[in-house]
Amino acid sequence: MSLSRAPKVLGSLIGFVGLSAVAGLLVGLVFVPSLAVAGEGVVTGVDTFNSLPSYLQIEQPAQASAVYAKQGGKDVKIASFYVQNRTDVASNQIAEVVKQSTIDTEDPRFYKEGAIDVQGTIRGALATGLGHNVQGGSSITQQYVKNVLVQRCAQQGSSQGTTKEALAAADKCYSQVTATTPARKLREMRYAIGIEKRYSKDDILRGYLNIVGFGGTVYGVQAASEYYFGVPARSLSIVQAATLTAIINNPANLRIDRPTNADNGAKNHYALTLTRRNYVLKRMAVAKDITERQYLHYASLPIQPKITPQSNGCSAAVAYDAAYFCSYVQQSVLTDPAFGSTSQARVQKLTEGGLKIYTTLNLDLQRTSQAALSAYMPTTVPGLSLGAANVAVEPGTGRIVTMVQNTTFDETSTAAAGATSVNYNTDHAYGNSQGFQTGSSFKPFTLAAWLEAGHTLNETVSTTQHKLPFSEFTDTCSGLGNDVWDVSNADPAPASMSVMAATAESVNTAFADMGTKLDLCGIADSAFGMGIHPAEGTKATNFHIVPSMILGTNYISPLTMATAYAGIANHGVVCTPIAIDRIIGAGGKAIAPTKTSCTQGMPSDVAAGLAYALQPVLKAGGTGALANPGDGIPTLAKTGTTDAAVQNWLVTSTTKIAQATWVGNVQGSAGFYRTYVNGVYGYNLKFLMDKTILQALDQAYGGDPFPLPPASMIGAVKPKPVKTVPGGAGVPTTGPGTTVGGTGTGPGNGNGNGNGNNKGGAPAKP
């Protein structure tokens, strides 16, 4: 031996003696001071070891969060969110064969000795002391400690964000807790002793099986069982349990979800894992947990994974037609302070907090609504960019029970035609939609301002004026300028008519005349009181208070419209929409999401007046008669159509359920008076969809009669005038290529509401 090597060997022997002595000391085998390695040097042993921290805070490891919806009255998981696919389970939810195979292989003396595997530690100390890397020999308790420390690094890293500094700190933390040094081993041993003073062996084994990695983003025995074999941990067979125990040894190389892997894939029957699995089975036979005959039989069986991917995010909800609703739930959590004071904290809570999120979604009604909508609006229409969406909300609770649209959910940047992540039903903040012009479905808010100002439903208004100077309007919010508003009707109208009749027939010029008798700011306030707001931006910047707003020129989401109509049906009390009923945290403790907020948006008698005026819309002669579900349940409703029927709406509510349907252009300006989709007249699409949807909602919810408004609000009924006048600019004549009842071919008003209320007559033959 050269002199240059002698000091190194001597140092190694001293280190070996120190480690061996400390290991013996920890289990009561040695009671005298000796040398021990602490930090990176050699110091006096027992006192130094005892001075190491022994208390290790066991924090909840990162767990997948799950989103649930109701189907047939039962909770069904529709999506998961995670950075580590892990679901903690109780000990009685883990098959005994998993516990046996893990103990037999990883720590046969687990139940017979303390926190430290003495024999393994001595073996590891010998190898380390002779100059090799730190060897195995860790007890299950020590392995649990190491996994807890690694998990702590990961969670600290995610809580600090993705900055360069945060990532560097996480890497440093990981390097420290996984370093192959005697110092790290001693710290683990000291922590392990502290752990066993506070937890039972069963608790430690359960904790270990819930935290340990199984390859990729799969952590914990429950997620591993579901992923690799499609069964819960309690249902694992002996062979499956042995396979998972084998993977623990080297998850990166022994995972069985890469069939094309040359070293460990389907072609060689997962040779590396098979060898380790059979070793596990042999250890079980040695421990008498299986017989020798069973060992020989099980060892002869091939590895047969049944990979069951656990989708991360809302893509899994596509199978339930619920991906867009799931996306809304996700955004609700990420913007709700109940889940953290910062956006990073909320992301961490969703992806690591093990939340069980029970939503308001009714999958049975969702399926019906999706089928009804998709039957008339496919994902794509050649040459056009069309869309359709429907959402239903409960009055009085704000609970969203359905949310569907015609496209396929796709969050990738390479989404094909007919696929998108944009949620047409929601505001921009919750789904990147800018909303759509609402047409005459906005008229109820003008009617509300009309009634609040002391006017009546049977008061007569003029329909003859088609050019209205801005000077005829009052706007106490801001100046209007000197423009002229051009207004036209889809159908001929009498020279004057009651407001009640004008509402049922949706006569634009009648509502324009009403607007001249009101403050435009008052109309806007009536809408704002019921929760109306622009889908993107603020009311101050993106809600335009101009005369044409009376006919729905602002861009609003279907969810907002359904919520407002639900408020009308709820005696004027509007409740903010919610998608989450309750949340259970990983520890079983309830977490309260932000609840619905209900406010009196309009006087109850005004709401009763609106309900009274809007019920004829679905009846014979009303603009929405084609959508009448025929079940006799009282329903308030309003249709909405913009210039040339570019955007089309039907919004309804009973006392129990409200819904909004939009059909129109996502991009472009194809007029639905001249558009057919799969042979169906475009203007009628919303009615045909809604008839089925309304029937299903009414069957599920029913409905009560609306209260009558005060007689003074209805007013005296006057005889109907018989004289009619032309519909004004934009009223078509019957002829080739036109449609009786309006084509929108006449000049518009420059603001999205020319012939905005066609009742959908049958197309004339060419």
Structural domain count of the chain:
2
Distance separating alpha carbons of residues 131 and 134, to the nearest angstrom: 9
Q: Considering only residues 306 and 735, tell me which one the structure prediction assigns the higher pLDDT.
A: 306
What is the separation, in whole angstroms, between the first and last Cα of the chain?
A: 108
| 677: pLDDT strictly greater than 60 | yes
Among 726, 254, 660, smallest CA distance to 494 is for 726
pLDDT at 29: 36
Mean pLDDT of 487-491: 91
Mean pLDDT value across residues 49-61: 69
Here the tokens at position 477 are: 């919010």
Residue 276 is assigned to a structural domain of this protein? yes
How would you classify the pairing of strands 35-38 and 41-44? antiparallel
Structural domain includes residue 244? yes
Looking at 310, 330, 365, the residue that finishes a domain is 310
Burial 546-579 (b: 16+ CB within 10 A, else e): bbbbbbbbbbbbbbbbbbbbbbbbbbbbbbebbb
CA-CA-CA-CA torsion sign (95, 100, 106, 107) = positive
Q: Please report where in the chains the tokens 């969110």 appear, as a residue.
A: 81
- Residue 386, domain member (yes or no): no
**pLDDT at residue 25, rounded to an integer:** 46
| Per-residue confidence (pLDDT) for residue 161, from 0 to 100 | 63
pLDDT at 21 over 50: no
Longest dimension (CA), the chain: 123
Give the residue from 361, 425, 389, 694 showing the smallest Cα distance to 559: 425
For 418-458, how does the pLDDT look when each residue is reduced to its tens digit (9 = 90+)?
999 999 999 999 999 999 999 999 999 999 999 999 999 99
Q: Which residue has the higher pLDDT, 31 or 464?
A: 464
Q: What percent of the chain has pLDDT over 90?
A: 73
Q: Beta partners for 667?
A: 385
- Confidence band, pLDDT 50/70/90 cuts, at residue 131: low
Domain boundary among 256, 283, 310: 310
Q: Which residues pair with residue 419 across a beta bridge?
A: 408
Q: Answer yes or no: are the C-beta atoms of 87 and 354 closer than 8 Å.
A: yes
Q: Which tokens belong to 447?
A: 């009617």
Q: How confident is the model at residue 312 (pLDDT cuts 50, 70, 90)?
A: very high
Q: What is residue 444's predicted lDDT score, i.e. its pLDDT? A: 98
**Residue spans of alpha helices (H) in 517-599:** 520-529, 539-542, 558-569
Task: Report residue 40's pLDDT band, with 50, 70 and 90 as the boundaries.
Answer: very low
pLDDT above 80: residue 494: yes
CB 260 within 8 A of CB 266: yes
Q: Residue 117: which pLDDT band, with cuts at 50, 70 and 90?
A: confident
Phi, psi at 469, each rounded to 5°: -60, 145
Q: Which residues contact 567 (CB under 8 A, 6 or more apart)?
A: 395, 530, 531, 573, 574, 575, 601, 602, 607
Q: What is the pLDDT of residues 375-415, one digit of tens each?
A: 999 999 999 999 999 999 999 999 999 999 999 999 988 89
Concatenated DSSP letters of 721-757: P--EE---TTPPPS-TT-BTT--S-S---SSS-SSTT
Q: What pLDDT is recorded for position 180? A: 78
pLDDT reported for residue 76: 97
Question: Would you say 418 and 407 are in contact if contact means Cβ atoms under 8 Å apart?
Answer: yes
What pLDDT is stored for residue 171 in this prediction? 83
Contact yes or no for 34/27 (Cβ under 8 A): no
Q: How many residues does the chain have?
A: 766
Tell me the DSSP string of 263-285: SSSTTTTSHHHHHHHHHHHHHHH
What rounded mean pLDDT belongs to the chain?
86
The 10 Å Cβ neighbour count of residue 766 is 7
Domain annotation covers residue 203: no
The single residue listed with the structure tokens 């009101």 is 518
CA–CA distance, 164 with 156 (Å, rounded to integer) = 14
For residue 160, the model assigns a pLDDT of: 63
In a domain, 295, yes or no: yes
- The pLDDT assigned to 115 comes to 85
pLDDT category at 500 given cuts 50, 70, 90 is very high
Q: What is the 3-state secondary structure (H, E, C) of 239-257?
A: HHHHHHHHHHHCHHHHCCC
Question: 408-409 and 419-420: which strand pairing?
Answer: parallel
Residue 648 has pLDDT above 90, yes or no: yes
**Which of 292, 310, 328 is the C-terminal boundary of a domain?**
310
CA 593, CA 582: separation in Å to the nearest integer?
7
What is d(CA 400, CA 176) in angstroms, rounded to the nearest whole number?
48
Summarize pLDDT for 339-364 with one digit per residue, the tens: 999 998 999 999 999 999 999 999 99
Say yes or no to pLDDT of 745 above 50.
no
In DSSP terms, 676 is beta-bridged to: 681
Q: Is the per-residue pLDDT at 51 higher than 70?
A: no
R_g over Cα of the chain: 35
pLDDT, tens digit (0-9, with 9 covering 90-100), for 216-253: 999 999 999 999 999 999 999 999 999 999 999 999 99
- Does residue 277 sit within a domain? yes
The answer on pLDDT for 716 being more than 90 is: no
Lowest-confidence pick of 129-133, 139-143, 420-424, 722-726 = 722-726
Residue 26 has pLDDT above 70, yes or no: no
Q: Cite the beta strand spans of 493-641 per DSSP E.
A: 493-494, 496-498, 555-556, 573-575, 580-584, 590-591, 598-600, 636-641
Q: Find which of 32-36, 135-139, 390-394 is predicted with most confidence, using mean pLDDT.
A: 390-394
Closest CA to 569 of 714, 703, 451: 703
Q: Where is average pLDDT lowest: 107-111, 195-199, 346-350, 716-720?
A: 716-720
| Among candidate residues 664, 625, 661, the one with its CA nearest the CA of residue 644 | 664
Write the DSSP symbol of residue 668.
S
Residue 730's pLDDT band, with cuts at 50, 70 and 90, is very low
pLDDT at 179: 82
Residue with tokens 């992923």: 227
| Structural domain range at position 265 | 214-310
The pLDDT value given to residue 10: 38
pLDDT at residue 155, rounded to an integer: 75
Distance CA 568, CA 172 (A): 59
* Residue 590: pLDDT band with limits 50, 70, 90: very high
Identify the pLDDT of residue 136. 52
Say if 331 falls within a structural domain: no
- Residues 561 and 499: beta-carbon distance below 8 Å: no
Mean pLDDT of 281-293: 97
Q: Which range, of 78-92, 618-632, 685-699, 733-747, averages the lowest pLDDT?
A: 733-747
How far apart CA 510 and CA 536 sit, in angstroms, is: 30
What dihedral angle (degrees, nearest 10) is formed by the CA atoms of 320, 324, 327, 331? -140
Q: Which band of pLDDT confidence, cut at 50, 70 and 90, is reported for residue 476?
A: very high
Q: Establish if 262 belongs to a structural domain.
A: yes
Token pair for residue 508?
């634009």
pLDDT digits (tens, 9 = 90+) for 605-614: 999 999 999 9
Q: Above pLDDT 70, what percent of the chain?
A: 83
Question: pLDDT band for position 739 (50/70/90)?
Answer: very low
Q: How many CA atoms lie within 13 A of 136 on its CB side?
A: 8
Q: How far apart are CA 672 and CA 664, in angstroms?
A: 8
CATH of the domain at 279: 1.10.3810.10
The pLDDT tens digits of the residues spanning 536-552 come to: 999 999 999 999 999 99
pLDDT band at 187 (very low <50, low <70, confident <90, very high): confident
Encoded tokens for 261 = 């892997």
Identify the bridge partners of residue 480 per DSSP, sorted by sequence position: none
